[in-house]
Amino acid sequence: MSNRFQRVTPFLWFNEEAEEAANYYVSVFDNSHILSVTRYDAGTANAAHRPAGSVMTVAFELDGQAFTALNGGPVFTFNPAVSLVVNCRTQAEVDHYWNALSKGGDPAAQQCGWLKDRFGVSWQVVPVQLIELLTSSDKAKAQRVMQQVMKMKKLDVRVLEEAAA
């Protein structure tokens, strides 16, 4: 676990896939691991309508960022109003994270660097060059780049840089 104090931790509510999702995510990101798993005991299981001994929460880190996943039942589901951004330095990183996170996900939810994974979590896989290009003082350049972004599913650094040129 990181020595850095993390004030805000994303808390992800799953029906019953918390452990599966956490294990998958730590397999995708370097410097990632499961920190702890808590289980429902007889008292909490009854209140939560979960089997005693089943996974309640999974604490995990993705590249040093702490997360918690909860098996809370089908009451709440994910939607794209909240997404996790993966900042990438190279096209190879974009390709890696896009391919891994979109595997088994919702192809219809893939656009402009956004995707929905097989657990319903929305991600944005973004090359860091995109922010630089979109915040250029040359407004026409930024507009050309944005027009290309709107046509893409997975972002392509080369195409974005060509649009900027």
60 and 32 co-located in one domain? yes
Give the integer Cα–Cα distance in Å for 78 and 84.
12
Is pTM beyond 0.75? Reply is yes
67 and 87 co-located in one domain? no
DSSP code for 26 = H
Domain-located, residue 142: yes
87 and 160 co-located in one domain? yes
112 and 138 co-located in one domain? yes
Other Cβ atoms within 10 Å of 142 Cβ, number = 17
H or E element, residue 56: strand 55-62
**Residue-number span of the structural domain to which 132 is assigned:** 83-164
59 and 87 co-located in one domain? no
61 and 123 co-located in one domain? no
Question: Looking at residues 104-121, what average pLDDT do you find?
Answer: 94
92 and 159 co-located in one domain? yes
- Using only C-alpha atoms, the chain has a radius of gyration, in whole angstroms, of 18
88 and 154 co-located in one domain? yes
Domain-located, residue 6: no
CATH number for position 34: 3.30.720.100
Q: Name the pLDDT band for 107 (thresholds 50, 70, 90).
A: confident
Name the domain count of the chain. 2
Give the integer Cα–Cα distance in Å for 57 and 148.
40
Q: What share of the chain is helix, strand, coil (3-state, %, to 5)?
A: 35, 30, 35
Other Cβ atoms within 10 Å of 128 Cβ, number = 13
pLDDT in tens, 10-57: 999 999 999 999 999 999 999 999 999 999 988 877 767 788 889 999
56 touches 40 (CB < 8 A): yes
Range of weakest confidence among 43-52, 61-70, 138-147: 43-52
